């Protein structure tokens, strides 16, 4: 009976089936690792783009402060929405809504002209990533 389960080289068919099963499991694991790597790369790109948005908002507020003789218009405080367009795995463009908040707190200390010595400025961007996890990037500084 064992003779019927062997090929011409003497390898059991069960051994061949185990080898094929092992190769299939290894291929599945490799495919999964590659896909997870792509997801991580895309999420990193996404975070970099959001961080660039946060940084540009902060630079805009500093520019406004410099243009207004050291004062930032308090009308800049508050929430607003922004949109990020991402392409995942060279597929179609995905629109990701961002919620942004700007908090500006003037210092209680003032200079000779009555203006605050500095502003505590925080820019926060929040969103939900592709996996449905909440994410947030914040940048804070005293200017």
Q: pLDDT tens across 87-108, in order? A: 766 677 888 889 999 988 888 8
Domain count, the chain: 1
- What is the reported pTM? 0.69
Q: Does 15 score more than 90 pLDDT?
A: no
Spatial CB neighbours of 12, under 8 Å, sequence gap ≥ 6? 2, 5, 6
**CA torsion through residues 16, 19, 24, 25, sign:** positive
Range of the domain at 127: 2-142
SS3 state of residue 85: strand
Q: 63-73 pLDDT, tens per residue?
A: 888 888 777 77
Closest CA to 140 of 79, 75, 61, 46: 61
SS3 state of residue 111: coil
């Amino acid at each position: 009976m064992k003779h019927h389960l062997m090929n011409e080289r003497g390898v059991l068919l069960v051994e061949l089936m185990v080898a094929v099963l092992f190769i299939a499991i290894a291929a599945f694991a490799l495919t999964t690792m590659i896909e997870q790597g792509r997801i991580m790369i895309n999420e990193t790109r996404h975070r970099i783009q959001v961080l660039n948005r946060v940084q540009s908002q902060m630079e805009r507020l500093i520019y406004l402060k410099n243009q207004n003789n050291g004062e930032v218009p308090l009308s800049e405080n508050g929430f607003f929405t922004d949109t990020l367009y991402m392409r995942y795995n060279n597929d179609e463009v995905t629109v990701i809504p961002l919620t942004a908040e700007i908090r500006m707190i003037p210092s209680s200390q003032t200079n000779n002209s009555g203006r605050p010595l500095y502003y505590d400025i925080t820019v926060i961007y929040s969103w939900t990533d592709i996996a449905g996890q909440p994410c947030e990037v914040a940048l804070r500084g005293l200017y």
